[in-house]
């Protein structure tokens, strides 16, 4: 794609976000969502030559979600139905927005579309595409049972799904699903907390996307050969921060969210989100562990097979202890 067209679509994309967050009419908000979709599709196709399948999948899902959203808007304008079927209308809004943003249990299209994109398009889908949808969720949704289910499932899918991945793209896609669950909670609790969380996630994803795009990283094991030791440490520390490992910066927005939930009496949601966060943190810490083993084996500190087995056993024992002690300790204190 030529640069003038590329710039035009990006400017229209930003304009569509401004329409979504500034208009008081739901019809104009819907128009902003459709503008967002129509601007993203040419940018997706421009990443690689064979991106037509991903663009078509994205178009079909977004159109289907928009139709459901229009049905919700139509039902909410009917005063009689809006009064007696408030829960049904809320469920319709939840289904449409979860589908459009790629949160669980409607996350399957998200995986199939993003895993074939370039790193810059992945950054676009993980950050800019979600901004307007999250903003709309703050007005349309509340902590109902179905939304709590979606939040918990997103956090666990983001954690468990990344455990057996060998591709860096897939790892960050599952991580994005988990972060969506946290951002949905944040936008429902406090606008300030959500802005801080989203800004942190935006900056971290921009850093990783630019770096991996320039180096051409596809698989996780390529990270050990493509970067210097200083770059490796910066990436690994950034991943720990992205996973919410204390005392890094990514830990503080999450602890603020959990604190607000505990004050609201949402103990079950707090426990489930902590468990999901620790499962997701496991593969970030595992990357650090594997990297340290690779660097150690390449230096004068050569470890034998027995030492590696002992370290692996201790590492897994510590992670299992953290999985149960940290949530209980945080709730207790």
Reply yes or no on whether the pLDDT at 226 is more than 80: no
Cα–Cα nearest to 66, from 36, 24, 22, 111: 36
CB atoms within 10 A of CB 147: 22
Confidence of residue 285 (pLDDT cuts 50, 70, 90): confident
Contact 130, 101 (CB under 8 A): yes
Quote the CA–CA distance of 308 and 303 in Å, as a whole number: 7
Query: Across residues 261-283, what is the average pLDDT?
Result: 89
Cα–Cα nearest to 260, from 170, 169, 310, 194: 194
Q: DSSP secondary structure string, 101-117?
A: HT-TTS-HHHHHHHTTS
pLDDT value of position 328: 42
The model's pLDDT over 10-31, given as tens digits with 9 standing for 90+, comes to 899 999 999 998 888 888 999 9
Count H helices and E strands in the chain, helices first: 16, 0
Query: Across residues 205-219, what is the average pLDDT?
Result: 89
Reply yes or no on whether the pLDDT at 45 is more than 60: yes
Which residues face 219 on adjacent strands? 167
CA-CA-CA-CA torsion sign (262, 197, 151, 187):
positive
Query: Across residues 111-132, what is the average pLDDT?
Result: 92
pLDDT value of position 89: 84
Residue 309 CB burial class (10 angstroms; 0-12, 13-18, ≥19)? exposed
The 3-class secondary structure across 129-174, one letter per residue, is HHHHHHHHHHHHCCCCHHHHHHHHHHHHHHHHCCCCCCEHHHHHHH
In this structure, the chain runs to a length of 333
- Per the model's pLDDT, the better-predicted residue between 331 and 133 turns out to be 133
pLDDT value of position 294: 54
Confidence of residue 246 (pLDDT cuts 50, 70, 90): confident
Reply yes or no on whether the pLDDT at 305 is more than 50: no
Cα–Cα nearest to 254, from 327, 147, 312: 327
pTM score of the predicted model: 0.85
Cα–Cα nearest to 277, from 245, 315, 236, 320: 245
Confidence of residue 332 (pLDDT cuts 50, 70, 90): very low
CB atoms within 10 A of CB 44: 23
pLDDT value of position 322: 47
Which residues face 167 on adjacent strands? 219
CA-derived radius of gyration, the chain: 21
**Burial state string for 153-164 with b = 16 or more CB within 10 A and e = fewer than 16:** bbbbbbbbbbee
Percent of the chain exceeding pLDDT 70 equals 83
Reply yes or no on whether the pLDDT at 152 is more than 90: yes
Q: What is the 8-class DSSP label of residue 219? A: B
Quote the CA–CA distance of 95 and 56 in Å, as a whole number: 21
Quote the CA–CA distance of 124 and 115 in Å, as a whole number: 13
Domain extents for the chain?
A: 3-332
């Amino acid at each position: 794609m030529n640069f003038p067209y590329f710039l035009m679509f990006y400017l229209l994309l930003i304009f569509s976000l401004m329409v979504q967050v500034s208009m008081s009419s739901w019809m104009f908000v819907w128009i902003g969502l459709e503008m967002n979709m129509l601007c993203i599709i040419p940018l997706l196709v421009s990443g690689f030559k064979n991106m037509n399948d991903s663009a078509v999948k994205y178009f079909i899902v977004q159109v289907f979600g928009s139709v459901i959203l229009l049905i919700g808007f139509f039902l909410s304008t009917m005063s009689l139905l809006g009064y007696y079927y408030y829960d049904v209308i809320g469920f319709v809004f939840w289904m449409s927005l979860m589908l459009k943003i790629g949160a669980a249990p409607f996350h399957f299209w998200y995986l199939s579309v993003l895993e074939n994109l370039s790193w810059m398009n992945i950054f676009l889908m993980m950050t800019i595409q979600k901004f307007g949808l999250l903003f709309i969720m703050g007005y349309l949704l509340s902590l109902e049972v179905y939304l709590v289910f979606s939040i918990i499932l997103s956090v666990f899918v983001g954690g468990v799904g990344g455990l057996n991945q060998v591709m860096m793209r897939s790892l960050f896609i599952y991580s994005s699903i988990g972060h969506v669950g946290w951002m949905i909670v944040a936008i429902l609790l406090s606008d300030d907390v959500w802005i801080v969380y989203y800004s942190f996630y935006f900056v971290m994803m921009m850093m990783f996307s630019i770096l991996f795009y320039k180096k051409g990283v596809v698989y996780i094991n390529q990270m050990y050969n493509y970067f210097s030791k200083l770059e490796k440490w910066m990436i690994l520390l950034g991943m720990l921060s992205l996973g919410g490992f204390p005392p890094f910066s990514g830990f503080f927005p999450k602890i603020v969210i959990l604190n607000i939930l505990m004050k609201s009496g949402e103990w079950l949601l707090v426990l489930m989100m902590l468990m999901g966060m620790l499962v997701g943190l496991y593969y970030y810490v595992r990357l650090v562990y594997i990297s340290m083993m690779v660097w150690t084996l390449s230096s004068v500190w050569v470890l034998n097979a027995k030492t590696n087995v002992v370290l692996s056993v201790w590492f897994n024992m510590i992670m299992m202890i953290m999985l149960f002690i940290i949530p209980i300790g945080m709730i207790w204190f």
